[in-house]
Amino acid sequence: MNVSAFTGIDPFLDPVDRILSQIAFNIQLPPSLHAKAVSRYEAVRRHLEATTFFADGIEHFYPQGSMAIDATISTRGTDDEYDIDIIAQLAAKYRHLGPLGVLKALEAALSNYPVEKVIRQTRCVTLVYGDRMHLDVSAAFREQGTPERRSQIMHAKGPNRSADDCEVPSNAYGFAEHYKSRTPVETAVSEAFRRRWNDHDRLRADAEVDDVPDQAPFVVKNMATLALQLVKRYRNITHDRKRRSGQMAPSVLLANYAARSASTGRTLSDALISLCNLLIIDIRRASLLGRTLAVVNPTWDQDEFTDRWPESVDQQNEFADDLSNLVAALNHLRSGRMDPVDIPAELRQLFGDYVVNEAIRKIAQETGGAVKQASQSYTRAGGILVPSTTAAALITSKAAAAPVAASRHDFFGDAV
Amino acid sequence: MAFLPLTIEEQVADMRAAWPSFAHRTFGKDAVIWQGTLKPLTRSYDVQIAYSTDMVISGPEVRIVSPRLTRLPGNPEGSLPHVYNRDRDPVLCLFDPAREQWSGWLFVSETIVPWTIDWLACYEFWLMTGAWEGGGRHPPSTGRRINVENYP
């Protein structure tokens, strides 16, 4: 992991990025729930190991997918439901059970687990908690003698054995490590979000009279991951808004493009546009050849990220069109020509009603509060910087700061 | 505090140093009009600031030349909050006359320009949310522009 003194750009600095960052903040897995998710999957591991069947039979129990790369957002179009994906790497002695047998054994071992529901799915067993967090536990077997941690995960629809049952190559761990190496920590991003979560928790603590840790230990760490979260949210909202059925572009595919497009020092909207454009180009190129997009795990070419999506050239073109619309909307927002009165509707269309309304309201109150307290500062271009961005602004663009201090004043005017 | 208010020449020199992107035109030693662009948040605004020696008490007149300011009819703060002449020729109202926040002994560059940025920032969020978060107040209707001399 590369950490230098101060890297990246504060995503709350630019006015449009500030709103986008607040939207991302509103859909992220909060640090408190991240800690809860970790304690939950550790408890599930302990539970499984305490069963007779799986005693000494679990080699690794680790997060995969968005949980492994700190990119978890709320599920689909929801605002407070989270899916946490876990790999249970089992000892080879269970492999003879076959995919359905392994999934059923896992289901049986968790059947009395204290959650609302235990559901066996095609590739995992899902634990549904009372607070609507879902823990998806996928069973995997390590491919011995291959690079860390190439595995096979179990695929079986059930309820009876079928010719379609199979083992699916996967290296979720390898991809997470690859992703992290391609998206180093940008301290301007992680510190901005750490401050924001601390402020959020402090406000909540004031309301609830709870103890709050001084520092949020888990926060988004770079602009690429922030962009990834927003693209995933956009995909989810668009899928729901257009009432589409069928698979969505998988998150791991988007994460792969986030890693490929990552470049330290980008603004959030630049990172977002870059991610989209890279994916659009690859889809268009495949479509021109009459093929569906084919992308494999960079750490193992047997692990196909596109094995279940896209189902057709039309479906991938539809997604490329969606991404093009997102890029166009972002460029319009950044153009300086959009009437602010139209901005909320445009953003709601992209990211959903509630989170957008809340994000704009929060930023509006912060800005108004700064004006009332004269705690803001200015740029030479006539921009306003509110306190949470001021420190970063001074570091990143000292020359752009206006030589004028804020002072107290009260707006007045004609009678309403 | 100096006995006399700042002269137009002093205001012009100070504006040139603090906000060099603002162009100006003087009218003898008595008046000046500055025009420049400010981009507080998402949009750029052409802003005109008119000031003359007879505005030492009432304060400079600040107008948004373009784009045309958007109205929100039926809004609790009025269709366009914190302005004078809302319906004909809106002039931003950036300070409360009763609190003596402006006087000709202050620099326009350090007061009126940053307060205009504040106004525009609050205006943009007012358009987005319908709520004016920047504080201030609207006086009872009197039909005349209020300043520190005629404040009721």
CA A20 – CA A360 distance, rounded (Å): 9
Percent of chain A exceeding pLDDT 70 equals: 92
Q: How confident is the model at residue A413 (pLDDT cuts 50, 70, 90)?
A: confident
Amino acid at residue number A333: L
Please identify which residue in the block is written with the tokens 């205009």. B116
Would you state the structure tokens that stand for residue B61, as one six-digit string? Answer: 């007149």
What dihedral angle (degrees, nearest 10) is formed by the CA atoms of A94, A99, A101, A103?
Answer: 100
CB contact under 8 Å between A364 and B110, yes or no, is no
DSSP characters over B93-107: --S-GGGT---TTS-
- Residues of chain B in contact with residue A345, where contact means CB-CB under 8 angstroms, are none
Number of domains observed in the structure of chain B: 1
Closest Cα in chain A, distance from residue B39 (Å)? 5
Evaluate whether residue B19 is within a structural domain. yes
CA A9 – CA A334 distance, rounded (Å): 17
Evaluate whether residue A241 is within a structural domain. yes
Chain B CA closest to residue A16: B42
Q: Can you tell me the mean pLDDT for A66-74?
A: 93
Q: Can you tell me the mean pLDDT for A390-410?
A: 71
CA A319 – CA A311 distance, rounded (Å): 12
Are A166 and A98 in the same domain?
A: yes
- Residues of chain B in contact with residue A415, where contact means CB-CB under 8 angstroms, are 138-142
Are A210 and A163 in the same domain?
A: no
Element (H, E) at A107: helix A98-110
Task: Using alpha carbons, list the distances in angstroms from residue A204 to A57, A197, A334, A367.
Answer: 42, 10, 33, 20
Tell me the residue ranges of DSSP E strands in A233-333.
296-297, 300-304
Evaluate whether residue A202 is within a structural domain. yes
CA A148 – CA A145 distance, rounded (Å): 9
pLDDT at A4: 47
- Residues of chain A in contact with residue B101, where contact means CB-CB under 8 angstroms, are 407-410
What region, left, alpha or beta, does residue A336 occupy, with left being phi > 0 and alpha being psi -120 to 50 degrees?
Answer: left
Are A35 and A89 in the same domain?
A: yes
Q: Which residues contact B102 (CB under 8 A, 6 or more apart)?
A: A409, B59, B94, B95, B111, B112
Evaluate whether residue B150 is within a structural domain. no
Evaluate whether residue B136 is within a structural domain. no
Closest Cα in chain A, distance from residue B61 (Å)? 12
pLDDT in tens, A328-380: 999 999 998 999 999 999 999 999 999 999 999 999 999 999 999 999 999 99
Neighbours of A277 (CB within 10 A): 15
Do residues A364 and B125 touch, judged by C-beta distance below 8 A? yes
Evaluate whether residue A41 is within a structural domain. yes
Q: How confident is the model at residue B130 (pLDDT cuts 50, 70, 90)?
A: very high
CA A411 – CA A408 distance, rounded (Å): 10
CB contact under 8 Å between A341 and B101, yes or no, is no
pLDDT greater than 50 at residue A390: no
pLDDT in tens, B20-71: 999 999 999 999 999 999 999 999 999 999 999 999 999 999 999 999 999 9
Please identify which residue in the block is written with the tokens 């008490």. B57
Last residue of a domain, one of A321, A336, A351: A351
Q: How confident is the model at residue B145 (pLDDT cuts 50, 70, 90)?
A: low
Are A43 and A147 in the same domain?
A: yes
Evaluate whether residue A410 is within a structural domain. no
Q: How confident is the model at residue A319 (pLDDT cuts 50, 70, 90)?
A: very high
What region, left, alpha or beta, does residue A343 occupy, with left being phi > 0 and alpha being psi -120 to 50 degrees?
Answer: alpha
Residue A37, judged by CB atoms within 10 A of its CB (0-12, 13-18, 19+), counts as buried
Are A154 and A229 in the same domain?
A: no
pLDDT greater than 60 at residue B13: yes
Please identify which residue in the block is written with the tokens 């509630």. A354
Nearest to A396 by CA among A379, A381, A374: A379
Q: What is the DSSP letter of A299?
A: T
Largest Cα separation within chain B, whole Å, is 46
Are A225 and A150 in the same domain?
A: no
- Residues of chain B in contact with residue A382, where contact means CB-CB under 8 angstroms, are 19, 36-40, 113, 117
- Residue B83 is nearest to which of A361, A404, A413, comparing CB atoms? A413
CB contact under 8 Å between B133 and A367, yes or no, is yes
Average pLDDT, chain B: 92
Nearest to A165 by CA among A102, A119, A109: A102
Asked if A399 reaches chain B (Cβ–Cβ under 8 Å), the answer is: no
Q: What is the CATH number of the domain that holds B78?
A: 3.10.110
> What is the extent of the structural domain holding A110?
31-182
Are A42 and A166 in the same domain?
A: yes
User: Directed axis angle between helix A343-351 and helix A15-27, to 10°?
Assistant: 40
Q: Can you tell me the mean pLDDT for A115-143?
A: 96
Q: Can you tell me the mean pLDDT for A37-52?
A: 95
Q: Which of B41, B58, B82 to mutate to test the interface with A (most CBs of A within 10 A)?
A: B41
Is the dihedral angle over the CA atoms A332, A333, A335, A338 positive or is it negative?
A: positive
- Residue A403 is nearest to which of B18, B39, B133, comparing CB atoms? B18
Chain A CA closest to residue B76: A416
Last residue of a domain, one of A351, A369, A402: A351
Evaluate whether residue B95 is within a structural domain. yes
Average pLDDT, chain A: 91
Q: Can you tell me the mean pLDDT for A66-75?
A: 92
Report, in angstroms and rounded to the nearest whole number, the Rg of chain B calculated over CA atoms: 15
pLDDT at A201: 75
Are A324 and A213 in the same domain?
A: yes
Nearest to A229 by CA among A32, A65, A388: A65
pLDDT at A78: 72
Q: Can you tell me the mean pLDDT for A57-73?
A: 94
CB contact under 8 Å between A412 and B95, yes or no, is yes
CA A283 – CA B5 distance, rounded (Å): 67
Are A169 and A248 in the same domain?
A: no
Evaluate whether residue A408 is within a structural domain. no
Evaluate whether residue A388 is within a structural domain. no
- Residues of chain B in contact with residue A405, where contact means CB-CB under 8 angstroms, are 110
Q: Which residues contact A413 (CB under 8 A, 6 or more apart)?
A: B78, B81, B82, B83, B84, B86, B93, B136, B138, B139
pLDDT in tens, A237-296: 999 999 998 899 999 999 999 999 999 999 999 999 999 999 999 999 999 999 999 999
Largest Cα separation within chain A, whole Å, is 82
Number of domains observed in the structure of chain A: 2
Q: Which residues of A are catalytic?
A: 83, 85, 136
Are A339 and A252 in the same domain?
A: yes
Closest Cα in chain A, distance from residue B25 (Å)? 20
Evaluate whether residue B148 is within a structural domain. no
CB contact under 8 Å between B129 and A361, yes or no, is yes
Evaluate whether residue A122 is within a structural domain. yes
pLDDT at A389: 52
Are A208 and A173 in the same domain?
A: no
- Residues of chain A in contact with residue B95, where contact means CB-CB under 8 angstroms, are 409-412
* ipTM (interface predicted TM): 0.93
CB contact under 8 Å between B122 and A408, yes or no, is no
Last residue of a domain, one of A334, A351, A368: A351
Q: How confident is the model at residue A395 (pLDDT cuts 50, 70, 90)?
A: very low
Mark which residues 306-325 of A lie under 8 Å from B by CB: none
Evaluate whether residue A367 is within a structural domain. no
Do residues A394 and A401 touch, judged by C-beta distance below 8 A? yes
- Residue A367 is nearest to which of B37, B121, B137, comparing CB atoms? B121
Q: Can you tell me the mean pLDDT for A177-196?
A: 94
* Lowest-confidence pick of A13-17, A48-52, A197-201, A302-306: A197-201
Would you state the structure tokens that stand for residue A301, as one six-digit string? Answer: 């070419």
Chain B CA closest to residue A402: B18
Asked if A363 reaches chain B (Cβ–Cβ under 8 Å), the answer is: yes
Percent of chain A exceeding pLDDT 90 equals: 82
Q: Can you tell me the mean pLDDT for A139-156?
A: 96
Are A128 and A225 in the same domain?
A: no
- Residue A364 is nearest to which of B99, B133, B136, comparing CB atoms? B133
Closest Cα in chain B, distance from residue A319 (Å)? 28
What dihedral angle (degrees, nearest 10) is formed by the CA atoms of A245, A240, A308, A122?
Answer: -80
Q: Can you tell me the mean pLDDT for A161-186?
A: 96
Evaluate whether residue B1 is within a structural domain. no
